[in-house]
Amino acid sequence: MVGTKQRSYEMSNWDVEKVRKDFPVLAQTVNGKPLVYLDNAASSQVPQTVIDRTSKYLREEHSNIHRGVHYLSQHATTAYEAAREKVKRFINAPDVNCCIFVRGTTEGINLVAHSYGKGFINEGDEILVSQMEHHSNIIPWQVAAEERGAKLRVIPMNASGELVIEEYDRLLNERTRIVAVSHVSNALGTVNPIKEMIATAHKFGVPVCVDAAQSVPHFPVDVQDLDADFFVFSGHKMFGPTGSGVVYGKREWLDKMPPYQTGGSQIRTVSFEKTTYAPLPAKFEAGTPAIAAGIGLGAAIDYLNDIDFEAAAAYEHELLEYATQRLADIPGVRIIGTAAEKASVLSFEIENVHPHDIGTILDQQGIAIRAGHHCAQPVMQFFDVPATARASFAFYNTREEADKLADAVQKVIEVFA
């Protein structure tokens, strides 16, 4: 988690070239140039070990899980549930059955908003979200508010892209039923003071739903230390397959919440008169899950456990700081989001150049960034821009790649001069 102050850039003792060899996609060329992959906030790349483990399931173990008594079903079930146990340990959840598998953060937040909203939000209640949220942490709560007759209230941010905590404290009241906030902003990289925000909400007896899609891939997390009520993240941003994700929730809430979806696998008994539901986690896992993706998520966690994840995070933060300074030194470049604490994301604009043009020219140089509103239109409106160019880093990126980014941005300016 870094700021933007100038400093000497002595990189951590991190063998990035060794790590890069774990990710086969990084060895390719794009438009005749070595690939520089700086779109990690959208989706990270996948190490060979995850590819191999997912392929092994499809090649040797493929079968539907749970209830099957035959060899393949039992092996697939064991592998899938082992992945759930890995999730529990990785985020330090107190109970493996409180780790619900979903397809990703979007589905996870919809699960919480629907089920918690149906059980606990009523007419006249208030839901707090922040001004920097991804659409996936705005729209489900808008829908819940509309359906329940509640009001959506917004925690503002300042010109640096930091939440105004004094306003957050003021907005909390006896009508607040839940706070939904990102741990790290996908559009700005701001690291929010989640632990403190949760503690403040709990003084009012208000639970907090944390969108952790951008934090889990970039630094260690501990849901018990944070005291998070709900903690939601995606596998495809943490070096795992698409279609994998997790909702962690405290049992005191999950036990009281109705199911999000219904059907096979999540029932205890069914008759035409009444259905009763299975205990956690099955209650929230209707139907056949994305088995290969879940097993792949477990393999991604194995990979992160095998490397020194704290050293990786330190290296990545230093790299972000270096890249930020390189771009900030270029006349005509404006950094969007200059919070004191940041992770991974470097959003910027170039005077009189549309971000899509930036992205296109960088792609010609083999550099992959994201250009657009990043599913965060309220953020764009706040900074009075239609879109930004966003470079986002992982621990396999290099200082040389940051230099290539800066050189390519300079070329963009020359093209449009």
> Which residues are designated catalytic?
375
Environment class of 120 (CB within 10 Å of its CB; exposed 0-12, middle 13-18, buried 19+): middle
Residue 75's alpha-carbon distances to 243, 246, 377, in angstroms, are 21, 22, 45
Residue 408 DSSP code? H
SS3 179: strand
Largest CA distance in the chain: 73
Contact call for residues 235 and 300 (beta carbons, < 8 A)? yes
Whole-angstrom Cα distance, residue 40 to residue 222?
Answer: 22
Q: Using CA of residue 355, residue 356, residue 361, residue 363, what is the dihedral sign? A: positive
Cβ pair 34, 366 in contact under 8 A = yes
Vertex 212: Cα angle to 106 and 398 (nearest 5): 110
Question: Is 113 buried (19+), middle (13-18) or exposed (0-12) by CB count in 10 A?
Answer: buried
Is the bond preceding 281 in cis, omega lying within 30 degrees of 0?
A: yes
